[in-house]
Amino acid sequence: MVRILLFAGLAQQAGTQDISINVNTPISIIEMKKKLQEKFGHLNGLDNCLTAINEEYANESSMVKAGDTLAFIPPVSGG
Amino acid sequence: MKYFNICKEPIDNQRVIDQVIHHNAGAVSVFIGTVREMTGDKQTKYLEYEAYIPMAEKQLEKIGEEISDRWPNAKTAITHRIGTLQISDVAVTIAVSTPHRQDAFEASRYAIERIKEIVPIWKKEHYIDGEEWVGNQKGTKQYLSGYPEGIENK
């Protein structure tokens, strides 16, 4: 399982912040985005958010594997 | 208390400042971000901040490392509050000490700008007439590359 974390507007649209998705072999973040869209329908902002694997920024072609935590990070607005 | 901290309680500014004072510091620059009521003609009732806490604390720590690289002998402490904040509440307190004042001013400015680029914290505005997650406040660009500015592809 890959643990998926959603934040801010993404979590609000999906109605959840923390889900698990089963993967048999490592898949790219692009592919994981497609799985999320299948599960939740279109999520506004999913295409231009940042991502992090295990709390480190990653890019769309980075691979996630079972046991990883993948976070989708909308444009940040702290401060 | 941690040097790089996400908290849910009101921030004790003095404690953040005390963390960076030491015998070779000659200047401490403090930046305090507070909740503003009016943004243009929009009136804020209150704000909600959310964070990816463990990663946010790591990114704050990274900002501290960047500051130490750029301004030798600088010492940094940052606390950001999350949860529901009212008008004039303190959202973030940054303290940087350096041997000389010029560096302290520059480094505290650098820290708040970097927070707005790389630290996973989000602000939801609750206006008098609606609500909105605030995104990309710097208005620079979309994150199409997949990495925020200054984060290297490893």
**Window B:10-49, CB contacts with A under 8 Å:** 33, 49
B3, B67 in Cβ contact below 8 A?
no
Hey, where are the domains in chain A? 1-14+26-55
| B3-46 tens-digit pLDDT | 999 999 999 999 999 999 999 999 999 999 999 999 999 999 99
Distance between A60 CA and the closest CA of chain B, angstroms: 6
* Per-residue tokens: A20: 């698990």
- Of the candidates A51, A73, A78, which has its C-beta nearest B116's C-beta? A78
Please check the confidence at residue B153 and state whether its pLDDT lies above 60.
Answer: no
Region of B111 please: left (phi>0), alpha (psi -120 to 50) or beta: alpha
Q: Do A7 and B122 touch (CB under 8 A)?
A: yes
Task: Give B103→chain A minimum CA distance, Å.
Answer: 21
Judge whether residue B65 has pLDDT over 60: yes
Q: Quick check: A12 pLDDT over 90?
A: yes
Strands A69-73 and A50-53, sheet pairing: antiparallel
Task: Tell me the HSE value of B127 on the side-chain side, using a 13 A CA sphere.
Answer: 12
Please indicate if any CB of chain A lies within 8 Å of the CB of B140: no
Distances (CA, A) of B104 to A75, B2, B73, B119: 28, 20, 10, 21
Q: What is the mean pLDDT of chain B?
A: 92
- The ipTM estimated for the assembled molecules is 0.96
> What average pLDDT does the segment B93-119 reach?
98
